[in-house]
Each structure stands twice: as C-alpha cells, then as structure tokens.
Amino acid sequence: MSVVGQGIDRTDGFLKVTGGATYSAEHGLARLAHALMVLSTIPSGKISSIDDIAARAMRGVLAIMTPQNAAQLPPQKRPPPGAMGNPRLSLLQDNNVQYNGQPIAVVVADTLEHAQDAARQLRVHYVPAKAVLGFGEAKKHLRTPASQPERPADTTRGNAAGNMAHASIKQDTLYTTPIENHNPMEPHATIAAWDGDMLTLYDSTQNVSGVRKTAAKTFGIAPEKVRVVCPFVGGGFGCKGNTWSHVMLAAMAAKMAGCPVKLAIERTQMFAPVGARPMTEQRLRLGAAKNGKLGAVLHDTVSSTSFVDDFTEPCSAVTRTLYNTDTLHTTQRLATMNLGVPTYMRAPGEASGSFALESALDELAYALKIDPVQLRLQNYAETDPEKHLPFSSKSLRECYEIGAQKFGWARRSAAPRSMRDGSTLIGYGMATATYPAHRSPAKASAIIHPDGSAVVRSGTHDLGTGTYTVMTQIAADALGLPVSKVRFELGDTDMPAAPVSGGSQTVASVGPAVYAAATAARTKLAAMALADEASPLHGLRIDDIVADNGWLMDRAKPQRREPMAAVIARHDGTPVQADSEAAPGEEKRQFSMHSFGAVFVEVHVDADLGTVRVPRVVATYGVGKLMNEKTGRSQLMGGIVWGIGMGLMEKTEFDWRYGRALNANLADYHVPVNADIGSIDITVLDEQDPHINVLGAKGIGEIGIVGVAAALANAVYHATGKRIRDLPITLDKLV
C-alpha cells in the first residue's frame, strides 16, 4: 500500500467548494413541489380535528395530508419495543399525540412560501391528556430495557456489592447529562418521486439500504421498487442513521399530490421528530484499595426514552471493558417521557458513560492522592475483562505516555486551585477515550476501463468524513493505479450494498470490500495478460505479476511490463469487472476489538466570572492504521471540538410544562465556534493490528468525542476545586 495513509486532499473537495456537490434538497426534478411538516403543539393527547378549509383554498396549495385523509398503510409486524433499529414512525395513521413536535400534517404547495403560509392556516384542535415530563416525574416509573445480544441491560461479575463493603476507599457519586440535539450543517432532507409503483428517494442519510428497507416495509412493496440516492451528506452524527417519519411522509405526500415532493426539515424541526441524545443520570460507585486498585465498580444508568418507542443509551458499555476489575455490576433503566424518540448521537453510550466513569476515577485519584494517569495504569486491562479475550491491538499505555509528555502533564501541581495566573485559574485534566471497532458485511464492485481508468462502487456514504477519498486510496493501491485514474462512487441502492455508516464502521466494513473488488479486477486483468501470447507477460505465474501506476509488470524484472490499458485493448476493449463481498470472520470471536486514546486538556477559568476557556487539548490515539492522515486528523479534531461542546455548552432546554424545546435554533443552542477552540494537538500512533481486517483500520468516527467532557470536568476541578457532575459545565455552576 502506498497511497493509503497519505494525507491526500479530498477527492470530492473541488465539487464541495464550487457548489458542484448535490445535496439531497438540491436535486432538480421537473414539477417538484414543496412539502412542509406541521408538528404538534401539545405533548400528549389526541387530535380531535384539523380544520384545513382555509388552507386548502390558498394559492399554490396542492395537497394537505392529515390523519383525516392520509393513506392507510399496510399493517406492519413491528419488532418488540426496545429492539434497536428504526423507531416507530408517526405517519398520520391515528390521532394520537405522544410528544410536542410530532408530525401531525404535511402541506404541499408549488413553493415553500406557499406551503408555509398554508400551514399557518391549519386549525388543529386537541383533547390534551396528562403528559409525563421532567426526569423526576419519569423516574417514578422506571423500566428495564429489553436486553439485546451483546447488549444486556444488566451485567454482573463477581460480588461487587460485597467487595464494595470491604474496600478501603468507597466513593458514591451521581453524574447527569442533558438531552442534546444533532445539528449537522445540513438538516434532514428528502425528495420523493413516484414513477408508477417505483419510488425514488433522494435522502440525506447514513444508510441508503436502511431507508430502502423501511420504505419497502412501510408501503408494502418489494425493496427492488425503491431506489435511494445520497451522494453527499452534510453531516450525520447518528441522527441520519435511522429513517425518520419525514422520509416516509414525503413519499406519501408525493403520491397524494401526484408530483415529486421535496421535504427539507427546518432547523427548528431538528429538535423533536428526528432523535436526540437522551438525558442520563448515572450513579458510579467505586471501591478501591489504598494503592488505587479497583476492588468494585458499580455503574447504574437511567436514560430518558419516549412513549413512541424505546432507545437505551448504553452508558455502562465503556465501564465493562475499560478497566481491569473482576467485580463489577452495571444496570440500565429507562425513564419514559412525552418527548421524541432518542437515538444514536456520536459515540452513543461511550460519550455520556465515559463522562461519569472518567470523572469518578478522577475523584478517586484525588481521594487517594494518586496521579490520575497512574490510577488508570494501576487498573490497566491487558485483556478484555468482560469477554476474557485478548485485544486485537491496544496501545493505550503509549497513548497515556506520549499524551502526558506532549502535554507537559508533569508540570501539573497536584492540589486543586494551585495553578493560577492573576485572576485566571489554570487546570489540567485528563481522561481515557475508547470506542469499539465494529465491522459489518459489505459489497463493492470495481471496473477497469479500456482507457486505463477505474470506477469502484459501493452503496456506502460520505458524511463529510472522507469516504470518497479513503476508498479511492484503497482502490488505487489495490488496482495499481494512480489516484487520479480511480473514481469511487457511493450513496445509491443501485450499487453493491453496504451497511449503515454508523458505529464508526465504514472504513472497517467497506474498505475490505473495496480492496477485495479492486484486487479481484486487477487479478482478472493480470490473468488475461498471462494467457495472451501478445503480452510481454505471457507465461508468467499470477503471483509473479505486480501492478503499479497503470502498469502490469514482472515482480522480478520490472522492465518486463505493459500498460493495463493495452491488455484490455487486445480484448476488444471490454471493461474488466469484479464484484466482491467482505465480512468479518473468526477474528470477531477470538479478539476484543476497540480503539483507545488519552485526552489531556488545559482550562482557564475566570475566578470571578466562572467562564471556562480551553486553550489547548492534547490527544493521542491508537486506532490501527490511519487511512488518510489529513481527513483522519480532521475527523478526530471534529470529535474533540464536539467534546468541548458537550462539556461546556450543549443542552436542549425544555419548557417542562409543555415538553417543548426552548432553544430550538443555533442562536440559543450553543455549539463551539472557532473562537471557542484553541490548539488541538492530535497524535495517531503507528499501531499495527493484524487481526482486525485486511487494512488494519479500527475506525475513528466516534472516539474523538469520548473522554473530552470528563477531561474538561477534571480540569475544571483542578482549576477551581469545584466538582461539576452535571453537564454542561456552564459558568452559573462555577460562580
């Protein structure tokens, strides 16, 4: 491999900066109408009637779809509540309202403005019912989520409670994290077009195959009748992993209006019907010996969920694998509220769970007067303590070492409030990062054309992460072609199927399929040359042939060679194609697979005002082989920036009387901007993982955010002596 790993520029960069990249709402279709969702304004109850007479008479209105006239959809066999996957959708099949912001009608008009105008004229009458709102209220009726394979609600190893009683140091602390909403630059958007019984959806999604499946099920049609197209995504972060109501509503509206329909979600509508990170309350009990050895770990999580469907934020997953303790007890419970269904948000479980675990360890370090890094080393897991398997690779020790050294951790004076510069309190904090290395089966195809260029395809996605670029690199290396001669295409169910681009698994899943397809196409071409008397390579064995820069050559005598294009030319110019599938194998049962990292942060807290600034972050990761130095680093940096948002800013505020988000816009819902970010120093170790997949890549999509909020809380404590166990760490909590 020669191009893989290099920090080449994004292959789709030119299209993006010149406006040539077509996002979902931008596909131009003839007779395209505009649809707008109308959302409920009560959290619980029934719609008694919707008066649409005035709205229907308005200019440009093509259709108004409500529970009164929406097409009756075929009944569906639904997975039991709590089964992870696509949530139950609100498709106007009944009059029930289960949260504020639930889709209750769709207005279609010739222009967006006409649709907006008509939507305002709808008169919705409700019979409100009592809503369960607020965490305190919801916690009165806790439920245990249905256990999933590999995701039990509760786990036990050893006698944690018994060991706890005998520990020399006992710690019992409660951490809370708020509801957060996804705010990718590109909100959800769908264009739906019917051609007879054939449905095409241009949808901003992390899972074209998943959207196809949901549409086929929803409308009772064969999956082959649904095509989903998504060449560009302006950020996903988990909210586009599921198919939400608006996608199906767009298709229903298109059928009703008799023309293609565009439904682009407004920013405000990002705050209810399309998922959120649930709020959590996590109780962490740690028992330790004086030397810091953990004798008992108990992690009890309550996360919020909805009445529409369940979602469980798996906070204790991180606690089960990160440290070496053979006495552990974890539980997950659900508190149900009249809110929208929560969903995956970048590093679901790990981001929120590590805030509790890594804050608790920091508290323990102070109680024991042990350096926080030392405490983690004292409990270092050489093998997976939950699965009792070796790690496919783990460089966490090096991450701590290199991170601490680059950060200057040794300069930290141990006592809280002991480092300051005038009225600025200075704090150092650190935390561990980890995320599982997932992989799913994926398919790809590769075609070498007579001009010596190649097109490689897989129905995967580029969420802005660099999939186009990285897959081009992998294909170019495997084909023996320069990057400029390879075009990678993605985002279409007409292409070989790939899994959801979630769980940080795209490179690890699709990369091997692309590698296999490209290798197969190259091998096919080489075999054609060997069998061809006109080829200078005639008679060589297949293993003797290497491909480089568009040439096939004899490994032993590289002067003996010919251009790949020449082979095809002699074979009637017929393109050479290979299709491949790649899937995880035995290694999945033999190894525990995780990425690891260490995050060090410095905070400056204004002693009088409580404002927190983050002048620098130093982070080190072991993520296997990095496919592209530039896009990889960018992605990790994005995760850290979001971690700063999670630690210091992000929170969806609700009016708990009505269950409505109060800050449903980017002015009031704070995310970091450039001025909030100081220096971010990222080191990716040169980690070899021979087990994980043919590329040695473990995935980097989510690990960047993990640990950052805890590192910040720990640094804030170091600076101020105030332990904030409730995110985000805003100034009101510090003054």
Interface contacts to ligand MOS, rule CB under 6 A: 206, 236-238, 241, 344-346, 348, 502-503
Task: Using alpha carbons, select from 482, 432, 467 the residue that is nearest to residue 597.
Answer: 432
Q: How far apart are the first and last CA of the chain?
A: 55
CB 468 within 8 A of CB 506: no
Residue 702 falls in the annotated catalytic set: yes
3-state secondary structure of 471: helix
Of the pair 184, 295, the CB lying nearest ligand MOS is at 184
Q: What angle do CA 74, 79, 227 make, to 5 degrees?
A: 55
Q: Distance between CA atoms of 192 and 666, rounded to whole angstroms?
A: 28
Is the Cα dihedral 576, 581, 585, 591 positive or negative?
positive
From the list 180, 350, 363, 702, the catalytic residue is 702
Considering the complex, what minimum distance in angstroms separates the CB of residue 646 from ligand MOS?
13
Considering the complex, what minimum distance in angstroms separates the CB of residue 185 from ligand MOS?
15
Considering the complex, what minimum distance in angstroms separates the CB of residue 444 from ligand MOS?
21
Considering the complex, what minimum distance in angstroms separates the CB of residue 344 from ligand MOS?
4
Q: How far is CA 55 from the centre of its chain?
A: 39
Of the pair 481, 500, the CB lying nearest ligand MOS is at 500
Q: Distance between CA atoms of 319 and 330, rounded to whole angstroms?
A: 8
Q: Distance between CA atoms of 309 and 99, rounded to whole angstroms?
A: 12
Phi, psi values for residue 161, rounded to 5°: -65, -40
Considering the complex, what minimum distance in angstroms separates the CB of residue 337 from ligand MOS?
21
CA dist list (Å): 275 to 265, 311, 345, 517, 535: 13, 10, 9, 36, 59
Considering the complex, what minimum distance in angstroms separates the CB of residue 239 from ligand MOS?
8
Of the pair 264, 706, the CB lying nearest ligand MOS is at 706
Q: Which helix (H) or strand (E) holds 352?
A: helix 350-368
Of the pair 438, 718, the CB lying nearest ligand MOS is at 438
Of the pair 338, 352, the CB lying nearest ligand MOS is at 352
Of the pair 43, 645, the CB lying nearest ligand MOS is at 645
Task: Using alpha carbons, select from 303, 320, 241 the residue that is nearest to residue 274.
Answer: 241
The alpha-carbon radius of gyration of the chain (Å, integer) is: 27
Angle, helices 708-720/629-648, rounded to nearest 10 degrees: 50
DSSP-derived letter for residue 396 is: H
Of the pair 456, 708, the CB lying nearest ligand MOS is at 708
Considering the complex, what minimum distance in angstroms separates the CB of residue 662 from ligand MOS?
25
Beta strand extents in 406-453 (DSSP E only): 420-421, 424-436, 442-448
State which residue has the least CB distance to ligand MOS: 238
Query: Which residues are marked as active site?
Result: 702
